[in-house]
Structure formats: C-alpha cells, structure tokens
Amino acid sequence: MEGLSVADANLVMYLHPSKSRNVSQSILRELGYLLFKFNETFDGVLLAYDVNILDKQAKILSGVHPYFGLRLKANLLLFSPIPDMLLEGKLVKLSQESIHVIILGFSSVIITAENIRGEFKYRTKDNEELFASKSHKRHVIKVGTMIRFLVKSFDEEILHIIGSLISAHTGSISWLDRRLEVTQEALVGWIDVWRKIQNLIGVL
C-alpha cells in the first residue's frame, strides 16, 4: 500500500534529571507520546519506531531547569497520505449515502455518494447493504470488504481521510487483483500467439 515509508532520523531528546535513573524507559515513554499523531517534523503519522542511544554520557544543559540531552538514532515507520494516493482499508459501515473505512486500525475514511462511480449500484441483499457493479457482477463491496481507493484529502489534526472510488482501478481489492491476474494471463496468451505467427511468417 502507498503512504507507508521507513525513515532514518537523528534525534536529540531532552530529559529531566529526575528521569536519569531509567533513561531507556524515559526515552521510550517520550517517543510513545508521538505515536498515531501527525508530526510536522516527520511529515507523517508515526506508527512505530526502533531507537538506539548514541551518547554514552549525557550532556547537561545550563538553565533554571538543567535538562540533559541525548542523541538518538531512530528508525521510523510513517504514514503520510496525500491526494491521489492509492490506499487500502477495511469497510466497516455502508449506506446508500456513504462508505466508511478504517486504515491500519486507527485512521477513518469516508467515501460519499458523489465520490462513488456510477458503475456501483446500492442494493440490499438478504438484509445486507452493499454496492454491486453493474458492469461486473462479481465486483461487490460490503461490510468487511478490503477496498482500494484514492485519497481526496487528509485532515492531519483528526487523521481523517476523504476518499474516492471514481477511478476504475479502485474497489474491492480481491476482485481487482483477480482481474489483473486474468488480464496478465490473457496478455501472455496473446504474446504466445504472436510469436507463433511470427515463426510461421519466417518459415514462409
């Protein structure tokens, strides 16, 4: 899925002397406060980290409250959605007016009716709400479906995404992947046919 990246970062963390007894735990606690929040410095939402302390001895900073600074080497997993990026998530709620999706278990997405292409028609089958494709009967979107969609906008403060299913390469991931496999198999078949024709022409 797009939007995920791994970054190496050189950080400096300032801790109060009262936390000097267990520096490692204090560092992990401070970094933990940054999880699942958009950070302008990282230009993304911090999902996970792996950190190493570079300094063997901390440097005391002068001032009224003498904090000490530690240099860190961190490996960060970031989530940075931008417009027109393809993302994937699980559909958790559906109605005729909108589709609601969760990404990575924490970021919510709404896809409103005007952002759902006309190919999909809202239906109720066996008391279950769903969107079914008028062009491809097996292309169905319902609660529990993993879908692929395009980002229209991302609210960094509340981590909310407005998505779109207008593009033809969006929809149910399982159906899209099966269709791609069939297309690739057909392409390989046509290539074989073309090679045979070329060989026949060469013989003639």
How confident is the model over 64-82, as pLDDT tens digits? 467 777 888 999 999 999 9
Calculate what percentage of the chain has a pLDDT beyond 90: 59
Give the architecture (CATH level 2) of 86-178: Beta Barrel (2.40)
Of the options 3.40.390, 1.10.3060, 3.30.70, 3.30.1490, the CATH number for the domain spanning 4-79: 3.30.1490
CA distances from 188 to 102, 103, 181, 182 (A): 36, 35, 11, 10
Specify burial of residue 34 (Cβ count, 10 A radius: 0-12, 13-18, 19+): middle
Model confidence at 179: pLDDT above 90: no
Strand spans (E) along the chain: 4-15, 38-39, 44-53, 59-60, 68-79, 86-94, 98-103, 107-112, 120-125, 128-133, 140-142, 146-155, 160-164, 171-172
Query: Please, are residues 141 and 130 in contact by the beta-carbon 8 Å criterion?
Result: yes
pLDDT digits 0-9 by tens, 11-24: 888 887 777 778 88
Specify burial of residue 104 (Cβ count, 10 A radius: 0-12, 13-18, 19+): middle
Specify burial of residue 116 (Cβ count, 10 A radius: 0-12, 13-18, 19+): buried
Sketch the domain layout of the chain as residue ranges: 4-79, 86-178
Residue 54: band (very low, low, confident or very high) from pLDDT cuts 50, 70, 90? confident
Task: Check residue 203 and give left, alpha or beta (phi > 0: left; psi -120 to 50: alpha).
Answer: alpha
**CA 36/CA 40 separation, integer angstroms:** 13
Query: Same fold for the domain at 4-79 and the one at 86-178?
Result: no
Phi, psi values for residue 201, rounded to 5°: -65, -40
Query: Please, are residues 12 and 71 in contact by the beta-carbon 8 Å criterion?
Result: yes
